[in-house]
């Protein structure tokens, strides 16, 4: 059984629409969120993620010399003295969004993180194909993919932020696995002990999902922790990820949650 168990075929095509035995926000959401906010998450960090993290630190060092090539956005002015600005694309899958973000933030290193070697291989292959098919196409030098477990990666990244070494103006969390069964709700990022760490990382965190309940829960959990959160329905133009394209073609409703301090 796949991890979207409980999902059914959407009438509009062969793309699955999320179906859940849960209609509104998870009943114990506030209790869970407050419980995890009150305790430090102590699961040991896997050695392979520590090693992967070192490759990012090296990449980030190399990237700091990339010149600014595009007009300033409101986020680019959000630079803290001494800290290196970094953009995160968590659960980047086949990596399209990482390339979009690298073009949107040309002066910052953009890190696409995923635990799936298969998806990251596809990301590298399509980036290479793009470069071969169009010699004038400049692949963003500021994009970097890394295979890592997010739950561990985020804690290592927060150490860098707290040490004043990294500043994360924008964190993309596009279409995380929804875990729609109530019995699996604890696997949703906002109902997991990692949530307080996740929200502390960036000035702006953007979650995208095709499941409204996930969007509303994520925003509610963030508000409980004192963050600003807005939920908006949106139409991607153009789609930024493989999943976004599939959902868009199937005419599913998409949701964007923006979290800020």
Ligand X SMILES: C[S@@+](CC[C@H](N)C(=O)[O-])C[C@H]1O[C@@H](n2cnc3c(N)ncnc32)[C@H](O)[C@@H]1O
Q: Is 242 in the site for ligand X (CB under 6 A)?
A: yes
Query: Applying CB under 6 A, which part among 24-32, 108-116, 128-136, 138-146 lies near ligand X?
Result: 108-116
CA-atom Rg of the chain in angstroms: 18
Of the two residues 15 and 220, which places its CB atom closer to ligand X in the complex?
15
CA distance 206 to 50: 25
Q: Is 98 in the site for ligand X (CB under 6 A)?
A: no
Of the two residues 105 and 174, which places its CB atom closer to ligand X in the complex?
174
Per CB under 6 A, the list member of 216, 244, 252, 259 interacting with ligand X is 244
Per CB under 6 A, the list member of 16, 100, 104, 119 interacting with ligand X is 119
Per CB under 6 A, the list member of 142, 167, 209, 241 interacting with ligand X is 241
CA distance 210 to 254: 5
* Minimum gap (Å) between residue 82 Cβ and ligand X: 29
CA distance 159 to 162: 5
* Largest interatomic CA distance in the chain: 55
* Minimum gap (Å) between residue 204 Cβ and ligand X: 17
Per CB under 6 A, the list member of 205, 243, 252, 257 interacting with ligand X is 243
List the beta bridge partners of residue 249.
none
Query: Applying CB under 6 A, which part among 30-38, 53-61, 68-76, 115-123 lies near ligand X?
Result: 115-123
CA distance 131 to 139: 7
Q: CA 29 from chain center: how many Å?
A: 21
User: In this chain, which residue has its C-beta nearest to ligand X?
Assistant: 93
Q: Which of residues 53-92 bind ligand X (CB under 6 A)?
A: 91-92
Determine the 3-state secondary structure of 145 from DSSP: strand
The tokens for 206 are 């953007």
| Residue 23 host element (H or E) | none
Q: Is 248 in the site for ligand X (CB under 6 A)?
A: no
CA distance 174 to 244: 8
Q: Which of residues 158-187 bind ligand X (CB under 6 A)?
A: 174-177
Q: Is 30 in the site for ligand X (CB under 6 A)?
A: no
Query: Applying CB under 6 A, which part among 59-67, 136-144, 161-169, 240-248 lies near ligand X?
Result: 240-248
Are the C-beta atoms of 167 and 86 separated by less than 8 Å?
A: yes
**Cis amide linkage into residue 114, ω under 30° from 0:** no
Contacting positions for ligand X (CB under 6 A):
91-93, 97, 114-116, 119, 149-151, 174-177, 241-244
């Amino acid at each position: 059984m796949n991890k979207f168990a409980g999902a059914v075929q959407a009438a509009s095509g062969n793309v699955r629409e999320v179906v859940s035995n849960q209609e509104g926000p998870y009943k114990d959401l506030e209790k869970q969120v407050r419980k995890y906010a009150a305790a430090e998450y102590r699961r040991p960090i896997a050695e392979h993620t520590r090693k992967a993290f070192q490759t990012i630190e090296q990449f980030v060092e190399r990237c700091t010399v990339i010149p600014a090539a595009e007009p300033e956005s409101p986020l680019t002015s959000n630079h803290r003295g001494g800290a290196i600005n970094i953009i995160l694309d968590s659960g980047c899958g086949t990596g399209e969004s990482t390339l979009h973000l690298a073009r949107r933030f040309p002066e910052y290193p953009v890190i696409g993180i995923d635990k799936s070697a298969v998806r990251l291989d596809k990301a590298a292959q399509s980036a290479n194909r793009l470069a071969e098919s169009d010699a004038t196409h400049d692949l963003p030098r500021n994009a970097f993919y890394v295979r890592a477990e997010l739950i561990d990666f985020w804690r290592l990244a927060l150490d860098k932020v707290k040490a004043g070494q990294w500043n994360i103006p924008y964190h993309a969390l596009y279409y995380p696995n929804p875990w729609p069964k109530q019995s699996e709700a604890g696997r949703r990022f906002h109902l997991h002990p990692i949530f307080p760490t996740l929200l502390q990382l960036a000035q702006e965190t953007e979650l995208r999902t095709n499941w409204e309940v996930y969007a509303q829960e994520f925003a509610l959990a963030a508000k409980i922790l004192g963050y600003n959160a807005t939920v908006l329905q949106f139409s991607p133009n153009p789609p930024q990820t493989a999943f976004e394209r599939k959902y868009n073609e199937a005419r599913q409703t998409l949701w964007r949650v923006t979290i800020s301090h």
